[in-house]
Amino acid sequence: MEKSSDVLTKEQIIAATEETIRRYGMAKTSVTDVAKALDVSHGSIYRHFKSKTELFEAATEQWLEEKIVAPLADVCRDSSLHGVGHVQAYIQTLVRLKRHYAREDEALFAMYAKVSDESAELISKHIGRIVGHLMDIMLRGGLKSDHPERSARAVFYATARFHHPAHAYEWKSAAIDAEFSDVWALIEQGLKTND
Amino acid sequence: MEKSSDVLTKEQIIAATEETIRRYGMAKTSVTDVAKALDVSHGSIYRHFKSKTELFEAATEQWLEEKIVAPLADVCRDSSLHGVGHVQAYIQTLVRLKRHYAREDEALFAMYAKVSDESAELISKHIGRIVGHLMDIMLRGGLKSDHPERSARAVFYATARFHHPAHAYEWKSAAIDAEFSDVWALIEQGLKTND
DNA sequence: CAAATGACAAATTTTATTTTTTGTCAGTTG
DNA sequence: CAACTGACAAAAAATAAAATTTGTCATTTG
* pLDDT beyond 60 at B102: yes
What distance in Å separates the CA atoms of residue B131 and residue B145, rounded to the nearest whole number?
A: 14
Closest to B90 (Cα-Cα) out of B102, B101, B81, B103 = B81
The alpha carbon of residue A61 and the mean position of all alpha carbons in its chain are separated, in whole angstroms, by: 8
Q: Is B151 on the interface with A (CB under 8 A)?
A: yes
CA–CA dist B177, B188 (Å, integer): 16
What digits encode the pLDDT tens for the residues B145-191? 999 999 999 999 999 999 999 999 999 999 999 999 999 999 998 99
Q: What distances in angstroms separate CA B191 from CA A52, A58, A105, A112, B79, one per listed residue?
A: 48, 42, 37, 35, 19
Domains of chain B by residue range: 10-48, 59-192
pLDDT tens, position by position, B46-75: 999 999 999 999 999 999 999 999 999 999
CATH class of B59-192: mainly alpha
Query: B11 CB contacts (<8 Å, ≥6 apart)?
Result: none
Q: In this model, does residue B5 exceed pLDDT 70?
A: no
CA-to-CA dists, residue A16 to A22, A30, A106, B55, angstroms: 10, 11, 17, 47
Provide the CATH topology of domain A57-192.
Answer: Tetracycline Repressor; domain 2 (1.10.357)
Q: How far is it, in rounded angstroms, from Cα A84 to Cα A89?
A: 9
> What's the pLDDT at A52?
98
d(CA A35, CA A44): 8
Residues of chain B found within 8 Å of residue A167, distances taken between Cβ atoms: 160, 164, 166
Q: Which of B161, B167, B176, B191 to mutate to test the interface with A (most CBs of A within 10 A)?
A: B161
- Contact call for residues A56 and A17 (beta carbons, < 8 A): yes
Contact assessment for residue B57 and residue B119, using Cβ atoms and an 8 Å cutoff: yes
A187–chain B Cβ distance below 8 A for any pair: yes
Tens-digit pLDDT profile for chain A (195 aa)? 555 567 899 999 999 999 999 999 999 999 999 999 999 999 999 999 999 999 999 999 999 999 999 999 999 999 999 999 999 999 999 999 999 999 999 999 999 999 999 999 999 999 999 999 999 999 999 998 999 999 999 999 999 999 999 999 999 999 999 999 999 999 998 998 765
Farthest CA pair distance, chain A: 59
Question: What is d(CA B47, CA B51) in angstroms, rounded to the nearest whole number?
Answer: 10
pLDDT (tens digit per residue) in B113-139: 999 999 999 999 999 999 999 999 999
Shortest alpha-carbon distance between residue B146 and chain A (Å): 12
Query: Do A10-48 and A57-192 come out as alike in CATH topology?
Result: no
Query: Tell me, what's the pLDDT at A173?
Result: 97
Q: What is the pLDDT of residues B21-44, one digit of tens each?
A: 999 999 999 999 999 999 999 999
> What residues contact A70, with CB distance under 8 A and at least 6 apart?
none
Give the model's pLDDT for residue A5.
63
Note whether B119 contacts A: Cβ–Cβ < 8 A: no
Q: What is the separation, in whole angstroms, between the first and last Cα of chain A?
A: 53
Distance from CA of B131 to the nearest CA of A (A): 13
Say how far apart CA A131 and CA B10 lie, in whole Å. Answer: 50
Which of B177, B160, B9, B191 is closest to B86 using CA atoms?
B191
∠ CA A49-A50-A56, nearest 5°, is 55
Q: Which CATH superfamily is domain B10-48 in?
A: Homeodomain-like (1.10.10.60)
CA B106, chain centre distance (Å): 14
Q: Are A20 and A34 in contact (CB under 8 A)?
A: yes
pLDDT score at B195: 55
Closest partner residue to B189 (CB to CB) among A155, A182, A190 is A190
Predicted pLDDT at B193? 79
The whole-angstrom separation of Cα B17 and Cα B98 is: 21
Residue B44 CA, nucleotide C4 C1', distance (Å): 6
